[in-house]
Structure 1
């Protein structure tokens, strides 16, 4: 395994999406078990050494990530003071899709109480949601989140989404189909309201 770890590091340095254990095993001509063990050992070693990056298993594969405690330094370097974040409207719409998928645009708009067509186009363009067939009754296009969404959120699967109940308001009744009160789960979410939320074009 002495030569496997450096090979894995070299490959993972150039991937643009999480690499699966099966794919890595095929490329490096090793067994999936050997690759899985080596990946976990590498991840543990980086943690013990206190490296500025970590090797994480997300969206069905493995990829390097900056450690959370160094996010501010990376953001300052990459963005240089400019904001490249989703608006509050986009985050809320993405939350509805994530928790109600597969879901139509009209259903998303009904939950949020505003027309979401423009925001949905933005999420599609960014690769966070995708089309997944049509609703049998109405023929409306249905949408779901993508593997890129899981990757950006650092999730292995949708079952790791946080439960909604702890975040729902206690003082007032909340309809079962409503997602009002759902907090933003984007780690880069800005703490502001979207001024264009009412028109959303």
Structure 2
């Protein structure tokens, strides 16, 4: 058959094709089988195949009179799997789960971690005392609360209670605030015995010049080296280097106008003096001479 004759034949077949909803229907008994699409086709014209054997059969009528109810692609000998129903989007799902939403796509809920049990007062007191015995620098209330996994509002009152208990019992040590935290210290009245045990005759003390420079930095911080030298009346570059190497003074930026380095005291300075902040330093007014203004005018 030539290509022209084949086109004419296909065109005739297409022109003679009748839609399923326009075909005459005859009443037929309901089939006994419950499989979807397994009922026998009604009597009538045989559905026409378009495009040869490789195309799918269209227009199979189940006799219900509704358009397109039984239109299914040819399965080419593959048996229909039971329990699979045509989805709304043309994709099949199993067990009522939409396609693409199987068990692999489900997110499993992760249970939240259980909160730590709240310690009673006796256990909390013992835990705080154990930590304070091993710290080498003052530790803040927030750090203690995080380590013990307890509310921060319980830590402060308990530390105050522990400190008051040590003082009332007359122990040789005390718990007090220093450098923004808490630490155990020996009492001042036993300092000579502790010093004798620790130093054993060897003592490394700051010189008078270092003490004077450290006092200027403590009361005037942040301050530059030139300002310190002007107050003391001598060059203090070497003394500043000594204090920095001892960890008592540190740099804290530069002066906006001159670009000179600024210096301030460190937390180690507060720890050594047993202070919580520089605001606890004693006032200078009682130690100044009465003719301080005259001395200041004379030096100008």
Q: TM-score range by the shorter chain?
A: 0.7 to 0.9
1:79 and 2:199 are equivalent in the alignment: yes
Structure 1 gap ranges (5+): 179-201
Whole-angstrom distance in 2 between the partners of 1:61 and 1:29: 18
Q: Which among 138, 142, 146 is matched to residue 262 of structure 2?
A: 142
Aligned counterpart for 2:135 among listed residues 7, 12, 15: 15
1:175 matched to which residue of 2? 296
* Structure 1 residues 33-72: aligned runs within 5 Å: 33-72=153-192
Structure 2 stretches lacking a partner, 5+ long: 1-120
2:284 is matched with 164
For residue 190 of structure 1, what is the aligned residue in structure 2?
none
User: Aligned partners of 1:5 and 1:116: how far apart in 2?
Assistant: 48
Residue 215 (structure 2) aligns with: 95
SS of the residue 2:275 aligns to? coil
Aligned residues: 177
Q: TM-score, normalised by structure 2?
A: 0.57
TM-score where L is the length of structure 1: 0.84
User: Are the aligned partners of 1:168 and 1:174 in contact in 2 as well (CA < 8 Å)?
Assistant: no
Runs of 4+ in 1 over 3 A off after TM superposition: none
1:138 Cα deviation from its structure 2 partner: 1.1
Deviates more, 1:68-77 or 1:167-176: 167-176
Please give the per-residue CA displacement for 1:41-88, whole angstroms capped at 9, x wherever unaligned. Answer: 110111111101000111110001010000000000010112222111
Give the number of the structure with larger relative contact order, counting CA–CA contacts within 8 Å between residues 6 or more apart. 1
- CA RMSD, aligned part only? 1.5
Which structure 2 residues correspond to residues 105-120 of structure 1 after superposition, within 5 A?
Answer: 105-120=225-240
**How far did 1:3 drift?**
0.3
1:160, distance to aligned residue in structure 2 (A): 1.1
What SS does structure 2 have at the residue aligned with 1:175? helix
**Alpha-carbon distance in structure 2 between the residues aligned to 1:117 and 1:29:** 47
Distance in 1 (alpha carbons) for counterparts of 2:173 and 2:268: 20
